[in-house]
Amino acid sequence: MIVWPVAAMATPSLNSDMVSVRIVRELALEAQVIVCCSDEGVETRARAVLERNGVRTGALRFVRYPCEIQFPRDFGAEVTVDEQGNRRRVDFRFTMYGQFSEEEEISKRLRAFAAFHAAEIGVSDVVAADLVGEGGDREFNGRGAMMAIRETEVDKRNPDKTVEQVEAEFRRVFGVEKIIWIPRASYDDEYAYSGPIPSENGAFTAFRASSANGHIDEICRFADPRTVIVARIDAEEASRSALHALNKERLDQAYEAVRAASDVSGAPFRILEMPVPEPFYVDLRPGDDAFLLWDEKEYGKPALTDGSPFPEPPVHVLPAMSYCNFLVCNGVVLAHKYFAPGMPSMVREKDEKALEVLREAFPGRRVVQIDPLALNLYGGGIHCHTRNVPARTMKRDSAS
């Protein structure tokens, strides 16, 4: 499933519709694609832009749900499948990425989306999880091991529980044997309203465009039962970029956590190192759809959580850029790229390195790179923008 953007353009130059078109075009070659639209107008626009770009809409399923957030990875149906092929949905509580209470209207509506999605794909069995959480912070190797961000799952989402209690609940609802804790998420993926971040010159005059407030799919992914892809920053990058320097400490912790871990049989993981994109900043102005997060009237508070004043427009923001937010679906891997004519050659070199890593990790699949920048402005990428579910039978050598 993909949730179609409510607005066609994130900014006057960044087209959200075209990111979704490119994703659907590739996925339609591999699987049944469900396109969820918030209303009739969005569906009409989605059908038109898909047809104009050569995608036969008759092969797609269109459904409607009042959902203005385009990241069903996080709140769509979390479906598991057992050895007999029985599927069930794990029902997590939802607090809008830790930003609101469970009783807020948006929290309740997005949590209900999971049941709507499950009904659309014929999954009726449900197990309730006594945890707050989102799909973007859980990675599985399909062989009894799970990875998650400890700070996110415990401190941010379930502060009323101990690590041991959270682990016990994950084992119960997912049937996993081992949980590998990554200490912290990337610096980029902290709460968007937590305060300013380094801009191009290192001064703290920029802001996060948006964020999932701590998801693992930005930095650390399973490629198969024994292979983990981890984002890395080297010393040279950290020396020339204040943003890279802040991220390096956290990504080094993630690497060490994976390096010290083992699968359920006790074997170490094979680690592939993924580059981190060169930061690219965008100025958001009133009238831009992506500016809505930074509209002071919408925020309704005089200052950010660190006490710094709410920024005046234009707001200089860092999109949620990552090469780890790729999607694996049957015979294809949909990946990110960022180079455009006029950009430094380093951007193209990192795109090429990311492509090499994914081709090594998934030798039997096509790897297709898509520019996700319009999508990144809303706090996620291609993996976040989609929610794939297992078939009734799964190959036991594939990551879930």
Per-residue pLDDT tens over the stretch 107-160:
999 999 999 999 999 999 999 999 999 999 999 999 999 999 999 999 999 999
And the tokens for 276?
């981190």
Take residue 228 and report the two structure tokens written for it.
């983990």
Number of domains in the chain: 1
Neighbours of 105 (CB within 10 A): 8
Pick the residue with more confidence: 392 or 175? 175
- Residue 248: inside a domain, yes or no? yes
Q: How confident is the model at residue 393 (pLDDT cuts 50, 70, 90)?
A: low
Return the structure tokens found at 383: 């993996």
User: DSSP label at 134?
Assistant: -
* Domain-located, residue 385: no
Percentage of the chain surpassing pLDDT 70? Answer: 98
More confident residue, 361 or 400: 361
pLDDT for residue 300? 79
CATH number, residue 253:
3.75.10.10
Q: Using a pLDDT cut of 90, give the percent of the chain over it.
A: 94
In a domain, 69, yes or no: yes
**Do residues 337 and 351 make contact, with C-beta atoms less than 8 angstroms apart?**
yes
* In-domain check, residue 353: yes
- Above 90 in pLDDT, residue 395? no
List, for residues 12-30, the tens digit of each pLDDT value.
Answer: 999 999 999 999 999 999 9
Q: Residues for the chain: how many in total?
A: 400
Long-range contacts of 359-367 (CB under 8 A, 24+ apart): 360/272, 361/223, 361/224, 361/227, 361/229, 361/272, 362/223, 362/328, 362/333, 364/331, 365/328, 365/331, 365/332, 365/333, 366/331, 366/332, 366/333, 367/332, 367/333, 367/335
Q: Is 305 helix (H, G, I), strand (E, B) or coil?
A: coil
Per DSSP (E only), the strands in 191-345 are 207-208, 220-224, 227-231, 270-274, 282-284, 315-318, 327-329, 332-336
Residue with tokens 């802001």: 207
pTM (global) more than 0.75: yes
Residue 4 DSSP class: P
Q: Is the pLDDT of residue 394 over 70?
A: no
What is the pLDDT confidence band of residue 176, given thresholds at 50, 70 and 90?
very high
The tokens 């009409």 sit on which residue?
A: 44
For residue 207, what are the domain limits?
Answer: 2-376
The per-residue b/e assignment along 85-103, b for 16 or more CB within 10 angstroms, e otherwise, is eebbbbbbebbbbbeeeee
Q: Is the pLDDT of residue 97 over 70?
A: yes
Q: Which pLDDT tens digit goes with each residue over 54-74? A: 999 999 999 999 998 999 999
Q: Given a cut of 50, is residue 399 above it in pLDDT?
A: no
Residue 281 belongs to some domain of the structure: yes
pLDDT for the residue 302: 83
**Reported confidence tier of residue 296, pLDDT bands at 50, 70, 90:** confident
CB 216 within 8 A of CB 137: yes
Residue with tokens 């379930």: 158
Say what the pLDDT of residue 83 is.
85
Is 329 part of a structural domain of the chain?
yes
Distance CA 247, CA 61 (A): 40
